Amino acid sequence: MSDQFEFLSDFLTNRMSMSHIYQPVMLKHLLESGGQSNVTDIAKAILVHDHTQIEYYEAITKRYPSRVLQARKITERVKNECRIAGFDDLEESEVAALIQICSAKLKEYLQRKKSSPWQHRKKSSGNIPGSVKFEVLKNARHRCQLCGISADQKALEPDHIIPRERGGSDDITNLQALCYSCNSMKRDRDDTDFRNIEEEYSARKDGCPFCVPDDGTVLKQERLAYSILGDEPNPDHILIVPRRHIENYFGLYQPELNTIQRLLNTTQTELKQLEEPVVGFEVTFQASTTKGESQEHAHLNMFVKRNS
């Protein structure tokens, strides 16, 4: 037995971290590839084990090529499998020639098409950088924000809450994590609800102090909301205000609520780091639906609670 074998087998048996499948999959792949491989091929080896991605393509296969090919009598179903019609009548050389045609067709398609053939998967995600995608999934705690299924069970993708073709932005507050089932259901839905939302965001009311805040007291600016210090005698009062002039908090759109939630989260994290005796927060908002009562710009009040 070589020293190197003992070293490697000891690592595999006793020392390798098994917090995920990555290490054994990568080492198995390298061992099967003559000891060396590139990152793309290692990624493909990992992909084989990612059942969430495989399920995604299973769903597509059932929906699209299977049905079309069966309808044209090119393939047929045998129990749970697909089979080329009349495959047994083909010579081995004929099979090889057909494989050649498939390869040529694929090559031709990929050369002709400027955009990637996987663009349809990006339809919902635009050109969202990987780091933003990661943050969207992290904010969603790696669960679909519609049905709640975990990323371990179904692949999640960032989705534009207001579609890009309706003027929705690539801003993180306009993104949510959806599983592919919820995402495709959403795509099929009529999205006329989203018309002119970007225009509505810019609604302001003359003379409203929240519409034009005092820059000196604004803590954090975001595109759809901001945080600001409350009135003087109480230093522990912070307001979080949507930029749009709206009286009813319940009329806010999800991207605005996302922005407000993000501001709440960052404010509480920062306050806890800065000031020692903070024991908690009280968050309130006014929501009057009756005309004549509290007709002011909707906002959240955040009060810092202390022990003393």
Q: Which is nearer to Zn ion, 226 or 238 (CB)?
A: 226
CB of 144 vs Zn ion, minimal distance in Å: 3
- Give all strands (DSSP E) within the chain, no chain letters: 75-78, 81-84, 156-160, 175-179, 218-221, 225-229, 237-242, 278-285, 300-306
Q: Which is nearer to Zn ion, 244 or 262 (CB)?
A: 244
Q: Which of 208, 212, 279, 287 touches Zn ion (CB under 5 A)?
A: 208
- Reference 181, options 58, 48, 46, 47; nearest CA is 58
Q: Near Zn ion by CB under 5 A, which window of 14-22, 121-129, 179-187, 258-266?
A: 179-187
Among the residue ranges 5-13, 28-36, 39-47, 175-183, the one whose residues contact Zn ion (CB under 5 A): 175-183
In the complex with Zn ion, which residue's Cβ is closer, 144 or 162?
Answer: 144
Q: Are the C-beta atoms of residues 224 and 173 closer than 8 Å to each other?
A: yes
Query: Does position 245 bind Zn ion by CB under 5 A?
Result: yes
Nearer to Zn ion, 75 or 226 (CB): 226
Q: Is the CB of 42 or the CB of 211 nearer to Zn ion?
A: 211
* Residue 187 is a binding residue for Zn ion (CB under 5 A): no
Q: How far is the CB of 26 from Zn ion (least distance, A)?
A: 30
59 lies in the binding site for Zn ion (CB under 5 A) = no
If DSSP codes are grouped into helix, strand and coil, which group holds residue 60?
helix
Q: Does 179 bind Zn ion (CB under 5 A)?
A: yes
Identify residue 176 by its one-letter amino acid code.
Q
H-state helical runs in 123-253: 130-139, 180-188, 197-201
Using CB under 5 A, which residues numbered 142 to 171 contact Zn ion?
Answer: 144, 146-147
- Verify binding: residue 31, Zn ion, rule CB under 5 A: no
**Considering only residues 105-144, where is the footprint of Zn ion by CB under 5 A?**
144
Distance CA 83, CA 89 (A): 13
Sign of CA dihedral 174, 175, 179, 184: positive
238 close to 264: Cβ distance less than 8 angstroms: no
Considering only 26, 211, 229, 278, the residue that binds Zn ion (CB under 5 A) is 211
Half-sphere exposure of 288 (CA within 13 A, CB side): 10
As a dihedral over the C-alpha atoms of residue 115, residue 117, residue 121, residue 122, rounded to 10 degrees, the angle is: -10
Task: Name the site residues for Zn ion (rule: CB under 5 A).
Answer: 144, 146-147, 179, 182, 205, 208, 210-211, 245, 297
